[in-house]
Structure 1
Amino acid sequence: MKLTYGELLDKLGVSPVLSGYETKPWQYYDAEKEIICAAEVRVMDGDCDEVEAEIMLDKGLKEDGTSDMEIIMWLQAKKSANGKYTIHNCRFEGKNFVNELPSWENKICRFFKAVVREIKSGHIPDFDEIKEETMKDKGGAGQGGQGGGRAPKIKGNQLLNDMKRGGAGF
Structure 2
Amino acid sequence: MQACGKGNRLAFEAMYHATSARLFGICLHYSGNRAEAEEVLQEVYIMAWLKASRFDPQLASAMTWLATMARNKAIDRRRAHRRHDPLETIPELSTQDSIPDSLEREQQGSQLDRCLETLEEAQQRYIRVAFFEGCSYAELAERHGIALGTMKSWIRRGLLRLRLCLGL
Q: Structure with the greater relative contact order (CA < 8 A, sep ≥ 6): 1 or 2?
A: 2
Q: Assess same fold via TM > 0.5.
A: no
Classify the TM-score, shorter chain.
under 0.3
Higher normalized helix content (fraction of residues): 2
Normalized against structure 1, the TM-score is what? 0.25
